[in-house]
Amino acid sequence: MTSSSAREPADDSSLVQAAREGDRAAFGGLYARYARMVHGILLARVPANDVDDLVQDVFLRAMPRLCDLRDVARFGPWLAAITRNRANDYHRQTRSVASVTDSLSEDEEELPSSNTAPDTEAAMILAFVRALPETYRETLILRLVEGMTGPEIAARTGLTPGSVRVNLHRGMQQLREKLANAALGGMDQPGSRTGRHSAAPGSSGLPRRNEP
């Protein structure tokens, strides 16, 4: 696992160099490698119904800017920054046409609807994840929804493996507390402060996306 992560920057470099020269297949390779990361970062920040379109937009923005990337081995962190900026732009554009609140209630309403209990539970858990601090929710979504491993998250985003482990550990602690409080009577709603109970659920309940 370590050797694979160590080789990844070199692979990125060759793909970036080829994409800079107009090789669309190389850019497609970068898309296949990083689509889950982009999707997860966006899902942590914007309504779920808009995520897929924004994923495409992020890559369309990144493609003509490849010449601005100074260190081709840092494509992942560079793309992650573009993704976060696109999410910020989304919210600025949204505020320009309609007033919004800081509550996550609107985001919850826009989660994919389903008549099945498992999907309803998954949407509720996702709402709780999105109520966590930004650092924790991004890493948790990349792990639980996108199915990325800790070392893969570190390699893609540019975070250190230690930071990823800490974010996952602390994020899961807070998520378990919120889920435990909800199970005890719904005292802890998405967007509220973490409760004191810490019973761990049997599983995350979040559906993982299929890899592109």
Nearest to 69 by CA among 18, 10, 17, 11: 17
Task: Give whichever of 88-92, 106-110, 185-189 has the largest mean pLDDT.
Answer: 88-92
- pTM here is 0.71
Domain count, the chain: 1
The answer as to whether 106 is a domain residue is yes
Taking a C-beta distance cutoff of 8 angstroms, is the pair 130, 44 a contact? yes
pLDDT digits (tens, 9 = 90+) for 56-67: 999 999 999 999
Helix-strand-coil split of the chain, %, nearest 5: 70, 0, 30
Asked if the model's pLDDT at residue 9 lies above 60, the reply is no
Query: CATH number of the domain that 156 lies in?
Result: 1.10.1740.10
String of DSSP letters for 92-107: HHHHHHS---S-SHHH
The answer as to whether 53 is a domain residue is yes
Please give the residue range of the domain that contains residue 128.
2-183
Task: Report the alpha-carbon distance of residue 146 to residue 164 in Å, rounded.
Answer: 15
The answer as to whether 150 is a domain residue is yes
The answer as to whether 204 is a domain residue is no
The answer as to whether 206 is a domain residue is no
The answer as to whether 208 is a domain residue is no
pLDDT digits (tens, 9 = 90+) for 140-177: 999 999 999 999 999 999 999 999 999 999 999 999 99
